Amino acid sequence: MTVSAQNIGIIAVASIFVVGCSSENFKSDHTVAHERTQSYLAANPSLSPPIARAIGRMELHKGMTKEQIIAAWGKPAYIQRYSAQSEQWFFGCGWPHSCDTPDEDTNFPLLEEIFNSRAIFNDGKLSEWTS
């Protein structure tokens, strides 16, 4: 049985694909979230101890900025703006706060029932949240 150059090429590409897709190259959601928080903390050493502690635990603390919320919980699935000073961020259907984002054109009167967690901002600072 002879192997053609084309077959050798197919085998080589398939081997690269299998090696490239090994489970060693994939990170869990928790690992990615932990790396995100640690990277943010390393880049922002002057954070107040309560804020740094909350981010490290992937928790929120009153007065956090939007950037700090993203460091702790990741990006929101949906944002509802009430005014230039007030908005509410909705976070996922499961850990780590991710799920399908609703269409912008769709009216979701019951966002609280779709999303598990939310953060409410007034003047760019976290004023309250649920998780």
Would you list the domain boundaries of the chain? 25-130
pTM for the model stands at: 0.68
Tell me what pLDDT residue 26 has: 82
Compute the distance between CA of residue 86 and CA of residue 13 in angstroms, rounded to an integer. 52
Q: Domain 25-130 belongs to what topology? A: Beta-lactamase Inhibitory Protein; Chain:B, domain 1 (3.30.1450)
Compute the distance between CA of residue 37 and CA of residue 55 in angstroms, rounded to an integer. 6
Compute the distance between CA of residue 93 and CA of residue 88 in angstroms, rounded to an integer. 16
Q: Locate 35 and state its tokens.
A: 């790396």
For residue range 36-77, list pLDDT tens digits in order: 999 999 999 999 999 999 999 999 999 999 999 999 999 998
Compute the distance between CA of residue 54 and CA of residue 68 in angstroms, rounded to an integer. 10
